[in-house]
C-alpha cells in the first residue's frame, strides 16, 4: 500500500510539472517588436546663423532598412527649393554629390522623403547592405537647400549623419 501511495505521489508531481511546462509554451505570447531608432539633424539658415530653418530625419524601420526625409519649417508656395546632400561637411565639403533633388514649397512647413526603405547601396558596381548604423557611422555628408534654381541664396544648411559628430 505504501508503494502505491509513493507511486501516486510521484505521478502527481510529474503531472503537475508537465502542466507548468505546457502552460509556459503557449502560442498566445505577443511577438516582440524590434526597437527602431531615429535621429534628427538641424538645418540652420547659414553656417554663421544658427536660426533653425529645417531638419533632416534618419529613421530605422523594423526590417533594418532606413528612411531619410527633409523638412523645411517655412517654404514659399509653388517654389521648387533645390536641395543637395554633399559628401564631407559644411566646413570641408568634397566634390561628391550624393543626392540632388527639390522640395516643392506650399507656403508652410514642407516635407519630402529622400530615401524610403533603403536597405542596400551600390558602390563601385557592388551592391552592399545599408543600415542605420552604416549611415550614421560611415556616411559623411551635409545638406544644402537653395531658395530656387538659378538663384544663389541658401535657405538651409547643416551637417548630417557622420559629419554631425565632427
CB 155 within 8 A of CB 72: yes
On the question of pLDDT at 61 being above 70, the answer is yes
Number of Cβ within 10 Å of residue 159's Cβ equals 23
On the question of pLDDT at 34 being above 80, the answer is no
- Could you report the per-residue pLDDT of 155-166, keeping only the tens digit for each? 999 999 999 986
**Predicted confidence band of residue 150 (pLDDT cuts 50, 70, 90):** confident
- What is the model's pLDDT at position 9? 60
Q: In 3D, which of 131, 112, 104, 110 has the Cα closest to residue 120? A: 131
**Predicted confidence band of residue 26 (pLDDT cuts 50, 70, 90):** low
Average pLDDT over the chain reads 85
Q: Of all helices (H) and strands (E), which one includes residue 140?
A: strand 140-148
Question: Across residues 121-127, what is the average pLDDT?
Answer: 80
Which residues are 159's β-sheet partners? 142
- What is the model's pLDDT at position 155? 93
Cell 544658427 -> residue: 50
Q: Which three cell numbers stand for residue 105?
A: 514649397
Q: In 3D, which of 69, 65, 83 has the Cα closest to residue 155? A: 83
Question: Across residues 76-87, what is the average pLDDT?
Answer: 94
Report all structural domains of the chain as residue ranges with CATH numbers, in order of start.
Answer: 38-165 (2.60.40)
On the question of pLDDT at 14 being above 60, the answer is no
Cell 563601385 -> residue: 124
- Could you report the per-residue pLDDT of 65-81, keeping only the tens digit for each? 999 999 999 999 999 99
d(C-alpha 133, C-alpha 88), whole Å: 18
**Predicted confidence band of residue 122 (pLDDT cuts 50, 70, 90):** confident
Amino acid at each position: 500500500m505504501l508503494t502505491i501511495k509513493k507511486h501516486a505521489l510521484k505521478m502527481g508531481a510529474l503531472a503537475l510539472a508537465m502542466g507548468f511546462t505546457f502552460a509556459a509554451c503557449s502560442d498566445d505570447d505577443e511577438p516582440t517588436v524590434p526597437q527602431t531608432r531615429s535621429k534628427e539633424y538641424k538645418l540652420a539658415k547659414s553656417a554663421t546663423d544658427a536660426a533653425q530653418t529645417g531638419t533632416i530625419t534618419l529613421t530605422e524601420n523594423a526590417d533594418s532598412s532606413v528612411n531619410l526625409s527633409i523638412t523645411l519649417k517655412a517654404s514659399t508656395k509653388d517654389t521648387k527649393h533645390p536641395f543637395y546632400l554633399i559628401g564631407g561637411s559644411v566646413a570641408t565639403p568634397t566634390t561628391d554629390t550624393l543626392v540632388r533633388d527639390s522640395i516643392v514649397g506650399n507656403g508652410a512647413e514642407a516635407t519630402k522623403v529622400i530615401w524610403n526603405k533603403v536597405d542596400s547601396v551600390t558602390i563601385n558596381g557592388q551592391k552592399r547592405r545599408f543600415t542605420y548604423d552604416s549611415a550614421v557611422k560611415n556616411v559623411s555628408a551635409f545638406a544644402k537647400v537653395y531658395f530656387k534654381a538659378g538663384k544663389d541664396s541658401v535657405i538651409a544648411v547643416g551637417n548630417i549623419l557622420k559629419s554631425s559628430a565632427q
